[in-house]
Amino acid sequence: MNDLFAVHYSWLFPLCPLIGAILSGFLGAKWLKSQSHWPIWIGVGISAALSLCLLFHTIQLSNTTPDTISTTITWYHWIDIGHFSAAAGAFIDPLTAVMLTVVCCIGFLITIFSKGYMAGEEGYFRFFAYLGLFIFSMTLLVMGNNFILLYLGWEGVGVCSYLLIGYYYERPAAREAAKKAFLVNRVGDFGFGIGIMLIYLTFGTVSFFGAGAGTHTGVLELATSSTLNDFQQHALAWIPFLLMIGAFGKSAQFPLYVWLPDAMEGPTPVSALIHAATMVTAGIYMIARCSTLFVQSEAALLTIAAVGCFTALFAATIALRQFDLKKVFAYSTISQLGFMFAGVGLLAPVAGVFHLVTHAFFKALLFLSSGVVMHAMAGELDMRKMSGLKHVLPKTRWLMLVGCLALAGCPFFSGFFSKDEIVGAALSHPSLLGRIIGAVLLFSAFLTAYYTFRLYFRVFEGPLVTPHAAHHNDHDHSHAHNHEPLIMILPLFILMLGALLAGYLNFPKNYLGDFLGHSPSFQLGYQTARSATGIDVPAHAFGQPGEEHLDMTTMVISGAISILGILLASYYHLKNRPASDALVQKFAPIARLLEGKFWVDEVYERIIVDPLYAIGRAFTFIDRIVVDGLVAIISFIPQLFGWSLKLTIQRGYLQGYGAAMLFGVAIILLVIFL
Amino acid sequence: MSQLALQHYLAIGAIMFAIGLIGFLSRRNMIVMFLCTELMFQGVVINLVAFGAYHGNLAGQAFTIFVLVIAASEASLALGLVVLLFRQRNTLDAEAWRELRG
């Protein structure tokens, strides 16, 4: 497949957005100004076109061959120190192609939306430069052919996330949120970094597949070898857990999820691109890519599944009592990421990646739609202050409805198929824990449907209520101001098509699964899973050829549960709104618990942040009194000497100095001549 | 009166140097102090010329030319400094600058 244009010129993927970012970053402030989006549009546009080209060619290839499709490309020798070497290069297989398409195409749509959304903002060029830098890092992350490059992209997207959350740096909340995101991610990256070091120690290389799949020179293949020594076997038990910590940080899983809700302080396109569609799914990508490492440890898999499942439920319950549109979607993102983790943890990486793709479409759609609402309502996002917006924003209402139906998992929308696959994999898992997880996920899906439509019915249906300021604005400008400019609605329509149709990527036949199955990561993962765990892993969960069966019972159950959630929401939040208030009154403590987000932030504040501050203050005290005191005493001696001179000899009379010189010379002469 | 001998010149030089030194140590006016240093210079220069004539070579005179050139350029600098200092304090009194001791 090396002769494909997009593979041959694979370095264009990261380079084009990077050049765009450099151009708009350095020329934007002075020359480009309100045209700063052009370099990014062109750069990301080229990457998006290339990614589609790559995707279609790879699909064609996968139809003609039953073998795995992959290639390793070395751009240049990057690091060469002693035995350690890491090349800057790409590993391209179906998984990479899918991830690149998601990142570049959704990224491109969001940069187009951003032109309308960010118009006239202070530091317009800065926003686009960061966006370009983000796409650059993200493409490196999903293309890199070794762990070092993956880590580079991983940190790069972290930096861009930090910069973009803190985009409105005049606002203290934005600054705090940016710092929090960066520091919480540090915790995860610490584990991830140690994991990579351990990988190098164990296998002597950091490359995924070395010189290429099948050559047994890369980590992912060496790990499946049957001739591992004791140290390597012990290390293999630890590596998945260390990598997992990194994934939990980046993908906002319990207990490291706390940064994601706060990250909503950033501009809405950023929330859509980084904190919903792409960056936060890096953890899923990493686990899917390294499935051969993970499937060997049943404990690691079950930990991932259990944490994912708990996060899915936990975040869904918090989302029930949030009032900020973006906060609701933030918690739902955490919850959906939990679903994906449960999927990859329960030996169904295809389902996890499938949900990643559909989620990228509908969650980007939902965030951008709430961006349109925010734009029209003069920055107001509190759903208690608005209602019946379908009269003001007729197009956005339909976009939002499709997004909500997909998120709620309503039958025939994209979220339904992917979520159903994860639930199905959980329910058919042989262990009891798997079935418990399946049941919890079903309940979380019910909550998801309920809170999604609580939001939709509150904001878009019912009598028209708009926040005071926006309402005034409306009357002043009457119809002069269009709340739904084409540049913002057009990308949303494309995303809406994705949210409608992405589900049919893997239904009724496992098209996406078969395609992903051509990835060496999935094929090797499948073989290793069968031999290592002894579980009869269904072939289609890894996209391998085998019997396919449609689990109609699960489909019916999860569909019914989602519709039940929607109906319940329509009762409480459309037909009989006072009833929901009465319900809250009745269960006041629970409602307060959920509104306080289980006080996790406060607990962290008490047990981690406060002690750290106390230690910091103690160190400051020691530094001020002991260290600075010693320095002061030592420096006091020459000072004292100086003072004594100043009081006796150095009086400032020029004549005095002259006389001193005279006497000095006289004494010297006397000494010489006498 | 016999012919002028070396010691006469040396005496003149020493007297000029001493007058300059005393003037420098006793006066506070910056211009006068500067003039006094010039006087000390010339005392030394007389010594140089006298020794040159005594030894019968031109080394002393050549040195004198150097000293005069350097003294002239230094004088232009020093007088400029004095003017600037005067503009700052409106006085020529050297004591006005006592705080420069630090």
Q: What is the pLDDT of residues A321-361, one digit of tens each?
A: 889 999 999 999 999 999 999 999 988 899 999 999 999 99
- Which three-class secondary structure state does DSSP give residue A545? coil
Is the Cα dihedral B87, B92, B93, B94 positive or negative? positive
> What separation in angstroms does the CA of A90 have from each of A93, A153, A312?
10, 12, 33
Distance of CA A383 to the CA centre of its chain: 25
- What is the mean predicted confidence (pLDDT) over A283-288? 94
Contact assessment for residue A252 and residue A337, using Cβ atoms and an 8 Å cutoff: yes
Chain A residues with CB under 8 Å of B94 CB are 653-655
Query: Do A652 and B99 lie within an 8 Å CB cutoff?
Result: yes
* Alpha-carbon span B38 to B79, nearest angstrom: 12
How much of chain B, in percent, has pLDDT values that exceed 70?
97
Min distance A37 CA to chain B CA atoms (Å) = 57
pLDDT at A304: 94
**Residue A661 to chain B, least CA–CA distance (Å):** 11
Find residues 69-98 of chain B whose CB sits inside 8 Å of chain A. Answer: 94-95, 97-98
Mean pLDDT, chain A, integer: 88
Most confident of A78-92, A385-399, A607-621: A607-621
The number of C-beta contacts closer than 8 angstroms across A and B is 29
Amino acid in the structure at residue A389: L
Look at residue A89 and give its three-state secondary structure.
Answer: strand
| pLDDT, average across residues A35-46 | 92
The answer on pLDDT for B25 being more than 60 is yes
Q: Please judge whether A655 and B99 are an interchain contact, meaning their C-beta atoms are less than 8 angstroms apart.
A: no
Q: What is the mean pLDDT of chain B?
A: 90
Quick check: A652 and B97 CB within 8 A?
yes
Select from B39, B97, B98, B101 the residue whose CB has the most chain A CBs within 10 Å, as the one to mutate to test that interface. B101
Spatial contact of A316 and A444, defined as CB atoms under 8 Å apart: yes
Q: Residue A77 forms beta bridges with which residues?
A: A87
Q: Is B69 within 8 Å of B57 (Cβ atoms)?
A: no
- Does the CB of A638 have a partner CB in chain B at under 8 Å? no
In Å, how far is B1's CA from the nearest CA of chain A? 33
Res A166 pLDDT > 80? yes
Rg of chain A on CA atoms, in Å: 30
Q: Which of A439-448, A535-544, A658-667, B30-39 has the lowest mean pLDDT?
A: A535-544
CA dihedral of A570, A573, A577, A582, whole degrees rounded to 10: 100
Q: Are A508 and A278 contacting, i.e. CB atoms less than 8 angstroms apart?
A: no
- pLDDT at A469 exceeding the cut of 60: no
pLDDT bin (cut points 50, 70, 90) of residue B2 is low
Dist. CA A349–CA A346, nearest whole Å: 8
Q: What is the pLDDT averaged over residues A279-307?
A: 91
Hunting for tokens 């696959």 — which residue is that? A421
Across the interface, whether the CB atoms of A652 and B101 are under 8 A apart is answered yes
- Among A651, A655, A662, the residue with its CB nearest the CB of B101 is A651
Contact yes or no for A86/A206 (Cβ under 8 A): yes
Contacts of A576 (CB under 8 A, 6+ apart): none
Instruction: Give the long-range contacts of residues A11-16, CB within 8 A, separation 24 or more.
Output: A11/A75, A11/A90, A12/A46, A12/A47, A12/A50, A13/A47, A13/A50, A13/A51, A13/A90, A13/A100, A13/A104, A13/A139, A13/A143, A14/A136, A14/A139, A14/A140, A14/A143, A15/A136, A16/A42, A16/A43, A16/A44, A16/A46, A16/A47
Residue B1 predicted with pLDDT over 60: no
Instruction: State yes or no: pLDDT of A481 exceeds 80.
Output: no
The secondary structure element, H or E, covering residue A80 is strand A71-81
- Chain B: closest CA distance from residue A643 (Å): 10
For the record, the structure tokens of A437 come out as 């997880």
Residues 6+ apart with CB under 8 A from A139: A13, A14, A17, A47, A100, A103, A104, A153
Residue type at A280 in one-letter notation = V
What count of other Cβ atoms lies within 10 Å of the Cβ of residue A197?
13
- The Cα-based distances of A440 to A313, A594, A609 in angstroms read 7, 18, 32
Q: What angle, 0 to 180 degrees and rounded to 10, lies between the N-to-C axes of helices B6-26 and B30-55?
A: 170
Asked which of A28-32, A417-421, A521-525, B46-50 is least confident by mean pLDDT, the reply is: A28-32
Which residue of A654, A661, A663 is the best one to mutate when testing the B interface, meaning the one whose CB has the most B CBs within 10 A? A654
pTM for this model (two decimals): 0.81
* Residue type (1 letter), A486: L
Q: Does the CB of A648 have a partner CB in chain B at under 8 Å?
A: no
Place of tokens 């100095």: A657
Is the Cβ pair A662, B25 closer than 8 Å?
yes
Chain A positions touching B101 (Cβ under 8 A) are 646, 650-652
Instruction: Say if residue A190 is exposed, middle or buried (CB neighbours under 10 Å; 0-12, 13-18, 19+).
Output: middle
Question: Which residues in chain B are closer than 8 Å to A658, comparing Cβ atoms?
Answer: 21, 24-25
Residue-wise pLDDT for A54-82, tens only, equals 999 999 888 888 888 889 988 888 888 88
Higher pLDDT, A442 or A548: A442
pLDDT of residue A238: 92
pLDDT cut 70: percent of chain A above it? 97
Q: What is the pLDDT of residue A477?
A: 45
Mean pLDDT of A255-277: 90
Does residue A469 sit at the B interface (CB-CB below 8 Å)? Answer: no
Report CB contact under 8 Å: B28, A655: yes
pLDDT digits (tens, 9 = 90+) for A613-669: 999 999 999 999 999 999 999 999 988 988 888 777 777 788 888 888 889 999 999
Facing A655 at nearest CB: one of B25, B100, B102: B25
Distance (Å) from the C-alpha of residue B101 to the closest C-alpha of chain A? 5
